Copies of this chain bind each other. A is one copy, B any other.
Amino acid sequence: MEDITIRFLDNFSKDEVDSPVLIEGLPGIGHVGKLVAEHIIHELGAIKIAQIHSVYFPPQVIIGEDSVIRLANNEIFFYKSDTHQVLFLVGDFQSTSNEGHYLLADQYLKIAEELGVRRIYTLGGFGVGHLVEEPRVLGAVNRIELKEEAAEAGATFDNGEPIGGIIGAAGLLPGLSASRNIEGICLMGETSGYLVDPKSATSLLKVLSNLIGLGIDATKLVERGVEMERMVQKLIEGERGVQDEELRYIG
């Protein structure tokens, strides 16, 4: 078994792709990035082109509404129009180990290179610990030339905030892609950090839309946020069950 397995679906040929951008929205603070990325996938009708499994994900399967088991995975979606080509990296989990974060990010970038990705947008939340009325969207870039474009699109650049850096895929993808000549822009919506935050996601979506030059209807974002919060709460309950189980692994 490979530590990380990437399987492209049969419906997809790499020849279809030409200099796309990649939008990453894996789980993170306030699920802001996940919510935005999945919203755009639905609005644009992007199609799934690859599945990623890994021993660095939690050793756990997910059960669909139809009671069919599937492995925890990350997925790549693709949207193509006459004017735009966008890949999306979304999924269930990030790595459970420190090393796994690096190794997964490295594999994601191998795919990005193979598919000729020229720029990566990573989406995340920036937890401030309290409710925010008008959430800003903080930006960070892997080349200083990118700041102006992101600022014009509405991102805020604020003296090296967030001060603690960025962990996980949202930081490592632009961090590791600099040496591969892929542009990287990280956008982080301010959020309390406690709940799935559609307000923060709406701010983030606006800046991202400006950057990628695609108008995305935000109407269903709140609704999707409510649904995602419901799922997250369920998974947290499930996680509690998992911990109980681990206590009984003895014997």
Contact = CB atoms under 8 A, between A and B. Distances in A.
Nearest to A147: B67
Interface of A is mostly: mixed
B140 A69 contact: yes
Looking at A69, A99, A141, A142, which has the most chain B CB atoms within 10 Å of its CB? A69
B251 A69 contact: no
Interface in A63-83: 63-72
A251 B92 contact: yes
A235 B250 contact: yes
A235 B249 contact: no
A109 to B, nearest CB: 9
Contact of A141 (B68, B141, B166, B176): B68
A231 B251 contact: yes
A234 to B, nearest CB: 4
B235 A164 contact: yes
B96 A98 contact: yes
A239 interface: yes
Given A28-B245, A141-B69, A142-B69, A167 B234 contact: no
Interface of A: 1, 3, 27-31, 55-72, 92-99, 101-103, 105-106, 127, 139-144, 147, 157-168, 171-172, 174-176, 178, 184, 186, 193, 228, 231-232, 234-242, 244-245, 248-251
16 contacts: A29-B248, A55-B99, A60-B167, A60-B171, A63-B160, A66-B160, A68-B140, A69-B178, A69-B184, A69-B186, A71-B176, A72-B165, A93-B250, A97-B99, A164-B238, A168-B249
Identify the 8 closest CB pairs spanning chains A and B, nearest first. A164-B238, A59-B101, A61-B171, A1-B106, A235-B251, A61-B175, A163-B234, A55-B102
